[in-house]
Chain A
């Protein structure tokens, strides 16, 4: 090997810590971008492919009960392809050896052999149950500890229990794909329905369209026509849903979240590039004499440039060797996690060519770009300045042009020091040295501060986003103030239920709510949105509403609703006072929007009306099927306990209760899924913090190395090990603390930006940003810890050197 290339090779291993630092800084960026890009591609492809492979229905109609004779009405409708009727109902179930009830959505399928839509993927055992057998969706296993061959116990409306044998576990990637908070599914045949006291009738239609299954507008039009046709034939359609064949309903949400992670990944690459630039500038500085010698013996700029370029490429290749395999594994792990959360299958482990290419481009070009400046200036340095350190000392040559002057900071520091002295305050000399050392290499300090500040600001920003999301969920909780929700299979008088409920100790207040479901129509009569109207009594204590515009519903309101902001997706210009065309139980109507409020819109939109109006409209005046109960304590455990007590109490008294739910459970389910998002954000934030810490470690290492001679002099005049270490560590801490202060300010725009992107992805509406001191305090502790850790190794190295070693250092 030629000497110059051998020098490059040996330089790589000359300082293993420095090489590792550069390699790791590149690798962190390559890894994170590889994981996210890989997961992005895998999910973008597999999510919809897995979804499409199970032949999702384009149209779902939730209808009143209908029998087989009604099917031709749907099958012969224009533009309708395959049709499959099902009966879906919810029921409480438990394992035979457990007393914990869970609500399941049971899907009764006419003929499993002819199942052509919303296909089930077998996972274990059988996928086609016989009579009095049941197949469960794998999500059930999260709620109920049960295995194939064991019995599931079902609670019927009259309180009696029935048992069905679990014969298989399946995956259903399509049914309920747009609602990850829906209860898990289980599947039976129609002839099992009587066992569960259900009529042998259907209540849902799943259908495909004959035309383009990926044209949302077309599907919606066909669905509207089908609905009209069904209703004209005497069956009420409660809700219409439409979906594309080749796109998972949550694809845009997942892609938005992956987009945020991708942005953070790019930021990490950006930060690591500043770290690379810093380290390479220091390396070139340390190699100045080598460059001088090479130029002295005939080396030209381009030869030196090529040598260091090859060195950077080697750093990049080492980083790629480390990051690409882990990036691939990480990408699949992330994709698998998201797939398991959203119940779809991946098509198998594979290397994603795009992610591979991106990683290589990032691993090669980012270091080249980052190192270009330092290498160009290093290779262009004149022989004299390259070896002047040696020459000057040996030849007594005079100071060079532009010799060092007292800097502004030094003047400021001297002035502060003098002012303190006048007041009798003596700053310790070592502390002054630490402070001065901090600001000696300004470009290096600036890059280190930039990296550490960005890392900290993102870290703090993620905490703020977390608080913002949970504050929003708390806000949503204002619409769920009740501790227990009681749902009955048939309506009961308000006073009767209140009287029975109050017999349970701890019950303080009972309120019956009315409900209505409606479809909001575009002016052309097609369905824009599905709407559920919750109607508590006017002035209810159980809704602590805070409209963002207009007002809340009040006594005397008729045909008036307060609706969630989600309506603005379909009607961007809607204002309080405007009217919406709606279809309720087949009848067209017009309702006035009196106010808008923020809410999570997942399963259609929510609106609030008054009990007084809607109970009359639904022929349930003074009666209700759903009641809200307030208890004397409001924690989730107590709510759960009270739910069970009330459930038993009403059943014992002969009431047909379908379920009793603790008030916070739905909210907690929702916050759980937010937690997953926050965990991903935190992992990315920690990676940025790691890059920042690595930057600081590198800087401290370089600072100490360059000051080896000074340290020797200090030791020669009496500085002990502890004193040297303290000086280095204080310097590291000063940098850390400055970055923390800068991070305070930078975290504000980052918090706003991240919150906006996340809230748009998750809630489809901007939400109010909330700041928390928690992130700032944790980051303060972390930055101090990281600063100390980053300084300890260089400090120990400095303290270990003998005076002879350091004074001989060149």
Chain B
């Protein structure tokens, strides 16, 4: 009830890009069942910079995993209207999910998740290679452009281990943008960075939103709240508040 009320706050005349309806996620453990998400209703609109804020263990990463299809929900629905027709994310198999995710969504993690044996350029080219949206020569050119965009092109042929954490995160963002997905999902992307570097990354996200990307970002830092176009607070698997877009 509370959740549905909260979700209606941010409704608009535009159809939501991603819509969660009554999403429940329950884990079974030796100690019994644990419900990480308790019937989440949420609409994410195009061009939003949505912050999902909550303490450790609140369920924010689980919520992100539901949106990306990385984890399967127990009950409810996740509808994405990213491509030409809506997709029920929760009904897709692992392979369809992988392809859908690769083309529709860029994902950035706190720990960068770059493949250590590939150069930065190759890391950015990898999603294009796997999804087959670009010709190999085109993908190389595009990867270089993306690295330039994140101001790391001069290190293109280095291995991830030879650049700083902040630089690695820029590469991860470039990789997330490789197939030009409309949505970018970031799970604590600044969590392991110093404040100056974190600020740069945040600036980059803001620029991307200005270019029309929709960004969903999970963080536990309340201080970042004002920088999101909208943020939701999550606590014990429930949305407890949501705020309208910040005043520009």
* A interface residue numbers (CB < 8 A to B): 2-4, 6-7, 10-11, 14, 289-290, 292-303, 380, 382-384, 387, 390-391, 394-401, 403, 405, 810
Contact = CB atoms under 8 A, between A and B. Distances in A.
B46 interface: no
A403 B30 contact: yes
Given A2-B136, A387-B113, A298 B98 contact: yes
A297 B130 contact: yes
A294 B111 CA distance: 15
B70 interface: yes
A298 B102 contact: yes
Given A10-B118, A390-B109, A390-B113, A395 B101 contact: no
A297 B118 CA distance: 15
Interface residues of B, number: 46
Contacts of A397: 27, 36, 61-62
Interface stretch (B80-88, B121-129, B196-204): B121-129
Contacts of B136: 2
11 contacts: A3-B122, A4-B126, A6-B118, A10-B118, A298-B99, A382-B94, A387-B113, A391-B61, A394-B61, A397-B62, A399-B27
A3 B129 contact: yes
B127 to A, nearest CB: 4
A298 B61 contact: no
B49 to A, nearest CB: 21
Contact of B107 (A4, A297, A303, A384): A297
B115 A293 contact: yes
B27 A293 contact: no
B187 interface: yes
A628 B115 CA distance: 83
A48 B77 CA distance: 77
A405 B28 CA distance: 14
A7 B118 contact: yes
Contacts of A405: 30
A399 B28 CA distance: 8
B27 A400 contact: yes
B115 A303 contact: no
B210 interface: no
Given A7-B118, A395-B187, A294 B61 contact: no
Chain B CB within 10 Å — which of A298, A394, A405 has the most? A298
B173 to A, nearest CB: 13
Interface in B112-144: 113-115, 117-118, 122-123, 125-127, 129-131, 136
A2 B129 contact: yes
A563 B20 CA distance: 93
B29 A401 contact: yes
A142 B33 CA distance: 84
B217 to A, nearest CB: 14
A400 B29 CA distance: 6
Given A294-B130, A303-B130, A6 B29 contact: no
Contact of B110 (A4, A292, A303, A394): A394
Contact of B113 (A10, A296, A302, A400): A296
A2 B126 CA distance: 8
A296 B100 CA distance: 10
B179 interface: yes
A398 B118 contact: no
Contacts of B94: 295, 301, 380, 382-383
B56 to A, nearest CB: 5
A604 to B, nearest CB: 70
Interface string B54-83: 001100111001000011000000000000
Contacts of A296: 70, 98, 101, 107, 113
A384 B65 contact: yes
Given A295-B98, A300-B98, A301-B95, 8 more contacts: A292-B113, A299-B130, A300-B130, A380-B94, A391-B109, A395-B62, A400-B27, A810-B111
Given A10-B118, A403-B30, A405-B30, A298 B191 contact: no
Given A3-B118, A6-B122, A298 B27 contact: no
A405 B31 CA distance: 12
A391 B64 CA distance: 12
B178 interface: yes
Contact of A10 (B117, B125, B187): B117
Contacts of B57: 396
A295 B113 CA distance: 12
A300 B71 contact: no
Contact of A297 (B28, B36, B56, B102): B102
Given A6-B118, A293-B113, A399 B30 contact: yes
Contacts of A403: 29-30
Given A7-B117, A382-B94, A298 B28 contact: no
B90 interface: no
B194 to A, nearest CB: 18
B29 A398 contact: yes
A300 B29 contact: no
B238 interface: no
A307 to B, nearest CB: 10
Chain A CB within 10 Å — which of B30, B126, B175 has the most? B126
Contact of A383 (B36, B70, B176): B70
A2 B124 CA distance: 11
A398 B57 CA distance: 8
Contacts of A300: 95, 98-99, 130
A405 to B, nearest CB: 7
B36 to A, nearest CB: 7
